[in-house]
Amino acid sequence: MLTALLIEDDYDLANTVVDFLSLEDIACDHAANGVSGLNLLAQNHYDIVLLDLNLPRLDGLAVCEALRKQGADIPVLMLTARDQLKDKIAGFHAGTDDYLVKPFELEELVVRIHALSRRRSGQAKLLQCADLIMNLTDKSVSRSGGKIKLSPTGWQLLETLLRASPDPVSRSQLEQAIWGDELPDSNSLKVHIFHLRKSIDSPFEKALLHTIVGHGFALKDQ
């Protein structure tokens, strides 16, 4: 069953949405303000956040920005009565993944939820596996507080692996992410993986980059 968090200060709308989603096998918690919403997100796992733009205590943009700064890659669907382009642009800059303008059809809401919940958000600003941290805002990588320098290809490899972590990424997926349709010779990926492993794992006791036999590679803490 999918799980959602609705952060909405209109109680009538919230009750309607929660009840309708339960009929669609989507369990939905509700928070009436931005601060309560962030607290629930810190305490529970959700597949998606349904976020009102105008909220008391902390508005939707601030909630979304806080999530992304924390590195959260949960998809965010912003619900708003504002249909101006500038408002949508502000939402995307804050880290939302999609928009639904009020009033909306509940059936469309369900479709959007299912579509977004199938993927992680690409809006996260901080990617992390154990003590390995990639900060997309200042373009830095560190482990245990120490800075790590990577080549442009090493950066792309690490970002792709971190976005999927702890799930494995196939060799073909990594090659596609880095080189697109212009694939290099067969040893190129192997060489870049060797250098990436040397950069992020060699100085440390615990390895994070693992070879998954018959599939590819995964970044995971084990």
Is residue 106 very low, low, confident or very high in pLDDT (cuts 50, 70, 90)? Answer: very high
Q: Which of 36, 37, 38, 18 is nearest to 27 (CA)?
A: 18
SS3 sequence of 36-70: HHHHHHHHCCCCEEEEECCCCCCCHHHHHHHHHHC
Which of 39-53, 87-101, 139-153, 158-172 comes out lowest in average pLDDT? Answer: 87-101
pLDDT at 108 over 60: yes
In tens, the pLDDT along 184-219 reads 666 888 888 999 999 999 989 899 999 998 889 999
Specify the pLDDT at position 81. 83
Residue type, 6: L
Question: What separation in angstroms does the CA of 194 have from each of 73, 132, 140, 169, 188?
Answer: 27, 17, 20, 16, 10
Tell me the residue type at 199.
S
Amino acid 89: pLDDT: 81
pLDDT of 144 over the 80 cut: yes
Ranges of each domain in the chain: 2-117, 126-219
Instruction: Look at residue 165 in the predicted model and tell me its pLDDT.
Output: 87
For residue 15, the model assigns a pLDDT of 97
- Range 2-117 classified under CATH 3.40.50.300: no
> Topology of domain 126-219, per CATH?
Arc Repressor Mutant, subunit A (1.10.10)
Question: pLDDT at position 17, please?
Answer: 97
Separation of alpha carbons 136 and 68, rounded Å: 10
